[in-house]
Structure 1
């Protein structure tokens, strides 16, 4: 049933995958392990080539291979000496760029650089190239007599040269992306994209109207205090189905919880064992996009507020953030919000998760920006246009918070601007702010 409605069932390893994406160590570590395996395979091929030539009595062939390998040895030595210096310089510049972007926009966008696939791939390939060059240098045989040579690292040297070429291509791509992420447009687009991906993971069907069974037990958080980052939906649904109960997540994703805070409520006769629910709730230091519906709006609002501060005074950036806020709200305008019901294969509700409602999202997207908008006609005009667009899209029962923000914005502009002509100009809806 849920699949027919377009809901993609959460994968069993989705929380682990998202957590690994928020780390920077996993990809380089895997790359170093893989390059060791690659070097071992290439070394075996080189040994087999030399052994085949020796069995055929082709000493001259071995001597020719040794000559080619000696010519490439200088290249490998140069690569080994220069690669770590190159890595240090490149990523030192990158850290400065990240610091500038965080200072100009919001510190929470550092996470975008950490999750960047091209950044991790570039760093991984750089380190793998450096390690491979060191391993290749250990394969050079000191014997001068071709009859005593065990291996000639010809294949290994060729792989190193290929890795250097890949590193150069990735370096160009990495610099291009880093420069893009220093601009406001690509940053807010990335934030909005991840926010919309989170919306796509939410079931589109609403509650079925059946009341939950009486609450029989509560599970409390026993670990360190922190932010509720996400829950393992597939595991919780599976545990609830096996026990014939419904689990309800008490705090919202993004709430800060302390030891002893009730996290899960059990509705049904049989209470699942605590061991079955172990590692089903993730507590961390900061919020993530994975299941946090409001985190994207929080970042967009932060960037807009910083842009409207007297120290920055950049209303155009605030308008770009409003563009994405309106786009996000339009995407959830017709979706059931408030309580998300996750179902098992038979369509039975097994997990109830509280998410921000429509009013919560509208307030998060508009409240703080609205308070700073009267001083900037560009922002007030864009916000009015965005609210008007949303009023044409949303159902009648969701018009109230939008109308409230529109009225409050009009009142604030009228109090701030004494001249009638200025008020009229500032209250004229314009999708470009001041086009």
Structure 2
């Protein structure tokens, strides 16, 4: 992957991650439709339709202009009211939950559809109004275009009702947690599909020596082009091991990839490896398993803060974390990419479960160690994981270590004898 492709990929990620993408596409479509309708009204087919099917309608120019003006003003009012509510919802989500959930709310496709249809209806109607000329006769009134404008206005009202319903549900903590859970679970499944079962990795020995490749860029790691890295490894007969994960902040000079051969003197090859990793200076939210765990953990911590004081949301967040951790335990460890000859080329080891537990349970444990219900829920969560691991016993020791850590905190913070029991 060359440097130009990397820049284009960054631009594509910026465009597709913007809330303005689909509203712009829909608005431009409405604008083009308005020009097409203005042309279609003058064709023989348009004239025939108006004379034979729309002749009974009132086609006075002033009445038509009044209808279009009412549609424009009403649609603008709906749009202003709708997205004033969006700003209120985003403010509440940021203060009551965590700012990390905001991108998921504004990127909702239905919200973008509502915005796009509203803007498109306004543009479409304004073009029709501009098509009127002074002193025109009734025959020149674009009746087909006016009927379509009325239809679009009805659609805007229907979408407004739907928007009120959806935005009232979107701010509920359980709805947000469910959305994050579904997205995180899908990300884990997608990651498993991109790699192959690690049986080949078990058969092969690790190289005797690994040689670090240092990053020449800094920022948050957003995308790893695994396929490009796999092809590069096959061309150069190399094995790469990725030592960083998506979303991690990296500084220039940090070793982020290891190779089984020293590439110190091969600057072009090291640059090609670097081009397989896309960084962003902003902490761009990515669809990633660990990022989803982080969001749910932060929602739980925010709910336990004295300003919010919503332990019920924290308990629900722990339940969702439990489901995701069990899903992670039960999934096959996919950490090898093979070439066409079934030879190992790229190693991408997943973060160990014990590390994930410590990373995302520790904030909840720290803020809720004096709350007996939170401590009990954490212990029940680990009990469920132990039950899920009763056949393989692969994670049992790490889970028991987490139990002891939670017990030690509770021993110091909970003094009531009944609670301690």
- Provide the TM-score with structure 2 as the length reference: 0.83
Assess if the C-alpha contact under 8 Å between 2:18 and 2:107 holds in 1: yes
What are the residue-to-residue correspondences of 1:272-283 with 2, within 5 Å? Answer: 272=269, 274=271, 278=275, 280-283=277-280
Between stretches 409-418 and 185-194, larger displacement belongs to 409-418
1:188 paired residue number:
177
Within the alignment, does 1:327 sit opposite 2:323 as a pair? yes
Assess if the C-alpha contact under 8 Å between 1:198 and 1:289 holds in 2: no
**C-alpha distance in structure 1 between counterparts of 2:53 and 2:385, whole Å:** 76
Between stretches 207-216 and 399-408, larger displacement belongs to 207-216
1:249-296 Cα deviation digits (max 9, x unpaired): 342212112334444445468974736864752324114342x32112
SS in 2 for 1:171: helix
What are the residue-to-residue correspondences of 1:122-161 with 2, within 5 Å? Answer: 122-145=114-137, 152-161=141-150
Within the alignment, does 1:236 sit opposite 2:233 as a pair? no
What are the residue-to-residue correspondences of 1:330-341 with 2, within 5 Å? Answer: 330-337=326-333, 340-341=335-336
Name stretches of at least 5 consecutive residues in structure 2 with no aligned partner. 1-7
Match of 1:416 among 400, 405, 413: 413
Within the alignment, does 1:90 sit opposite 2:82 as a pair? yes
**C-alpha distance in structure 1 between counterparts of 2:273 and 2:256, whole Å:** 15
2:215 paired residue number:
220
Assess if the C-alpha contact under 8 Å between 2:297 and 2:363 holds in 1: yes
**Structure 1 residues 300, 144: closer, same or farther in 2, change over 3 A?**
closer
Match of 1:173 among 162, 178, 188: 162
**C-alpha distance in structure 2 between counterparts of 1:407 and 1:93, whole Å:** 46
Within the alignment, does 1:285 sit opposite 2:282 as a pair? yes
Assess if the C-alpha contact under 8 Å between 2:214 and 2:252 holds in 1: no
Within the alignment, does 1:362 sit opposite 2:365 as a pair? no
1:401 paired residue number:
398
1:164-219 Cα deviation digits (max 9, x unpaired): 22222222222222111221111111111111111011226223432466657836
2:3 paired residue number:
none
**C-alpha distance in structure 1 between counterparts of 2:170 and 2:298, whole Å:** 17
1:7 paired residue number:
none
SS in 2 for 1:144: coil
CA-CA distance at 1:152 after TM superposition: 4.0
2:204 paired residue number:
210
Name stretches of at least 5 consecutive residues in structure 1 with no aligned partner. 1-12, 425-435
**Structure 1 residues 197, 422: closer, same or farther in 2, change over 3 A?**
same
CA-CA distance at 1:409 after TM superposition: 2.0
**C-alpha distance in structure 1 between counterparts of 2:336 and 2:9, whole Å:** 18
Match of 2:383 among 374, 378, 388: 388
CA-CA distance at 1:159 after TM superposition: 2.3
Between stretches 363-372 and 128-137, larger displacement belongs to 363-372
CA-CA distance at 1:352 after TM superposition: 2.8
Q: Give the number of equivalent residue pairs.
A: 402
- Provide the TM-score with structure 1 as the length reference: 0.81
